[in-house]
Amino acid sequence: MADRITALLVECSVLVRCLYYQILTNLNFEVVSVQYAHEALELLQTDNDFDFIIIDAGRPDINGEVIMSLKDLAPHMKIIVSTFNIGLADGLLAAGADAFIIKPAQPEDIVDTLIELGIIG
Amino acid sequence: MLMICYSLYLIHNLVLLRYHLLDCYYIEKSNRMDYVNTRRQAASMRKCLFDQGYLDEQFYQLEDLQDDASPNFVEEVVTLFFRDSLRLMANIDQSLDKCAKDFNKLDVYMQQLKGSCTSIGASKMKTECTVFRDYCRDENIEGCMRSFQKLKREHSVLRQKLESYFQLLRQAGPIECATRPSK
- Tens of pLDDT, residue by residue over B144-175, are 999 999 999 999 999 999 999 999 998 887 76
Mutation site, A12, A19, A61, interface B, largest B CB count within 10 A:
A19
pLDDT at B178: 43
Query: Is A58 within 8 Å of chain B by CB?
Result: yes
Omega of the bond prior to A104 within 30 degrees of 0, cis? yes
Q: What percent of chain B has pLDDT over 90?
A: 64
By CB atoms closer than 10 A (0-12, 13-18, 19+), residue B45 is middle
Residues 86-105 of A with CB under 8 A from B: 103-104
Q: What is the DSSP string of A34-55?
A: ESSHHHHHHHHHH----SEEEE
Judged by CB atoms closer than 8 Å, whether chains meet at B65 and A16 is answered as no
Q: How many residues does chain B have?
A: 183
User: What pLDDT shows up at residue B164?
Assistant: 95
pLDDT in tens, B68-114: 889 999 999 999 999 999 999 999 999 998 866 899 999 989 998 99
Can you give the pLDDT at residue B21?
Answer: 87
How high is the pLDDT of residue A89? 86
Given an 8 Å threshold on Cβ–Cβ distance, is B61 in contact with A106? yes
Mean pLDDT value of segment B32-56: 90
Q: Kindly report the number of other CB atoms within 10 A of residue B107's CB atom.
A: 17
How confident is the model over A54-83, as a mean pLDDT?
92
Band of the pLDDT at A88, cuts 50, 70, 90?
confident
Supply the mean pLDDT for chain B.
89
pLDDT score, position B97: 87
Whole-number Å distance between alpha carbons of A11 and A63 = 14
Which chain A residue shows the shortest CA-CA distance from B121? A104
User: From CA A66, how far away is CA A40, in angstroms rounded?
Assistant: 10
- Please report the pLDDT score of residue B179 as a whole number: 42
Checking if the pLDDT of A23 tops 60, the result is yes
Weakest mean pLDDT among A47-51, A77-81, B37-41: B37-41
pLDDT band at B39 (very low <50, low <70, confident <90, very high): confident
> For the segment A93-119, what is each residue's pLDDT rounded down to a tens digit?
999 999 999 988 889 999 999 999 999
Band (B180; pLDDT cuts 50, 70, 90): very low
> Angle at CA B112, nearest 5°, toward B115 and B121?
25
Determine contact, residues A41/B140, Cβ cutoff 8 Å.
no
User: B95: part of which helix (H) or strand (E)?
Assistant: helix B73-97
Model confidence at B182: pLDDT above 50: no
Q: Chain B: which residues have CB within 8 Å of chain A?
A: 58, 61-62, 64-65, 67, 70, 73, 76-77, 80-81, 84, 111-112, 114-116, 118-120
The predicted pLDDT at position A35 comes to 93
- End-to-end alpha carbon distance in chain B: 40
Closest Cβ–Cβ partner in B67, B114, B116 for A15: B116
Check CB contact under 8 Å for A103 and B119.
yes
Contacts for B143 with CB less than 8 Å, ≥ 6 apart: B134, B135
In this prediction, does ipTM exceed 0.90? Answer: no
The answer to whether A121 and A111 are in contact (CB under 8 A) is no
Q: Compute the mean pLDDT over every residue in chain A, rounded to the nearest whole number.
A: 92
| Residue A79 bridge partners (DSSP) | A53
- Output A112 or A3, whichever has higher pLDDT: A112
Taking 70 as the threshold, does the pLDDT of residue A2 lie above it?
A: no
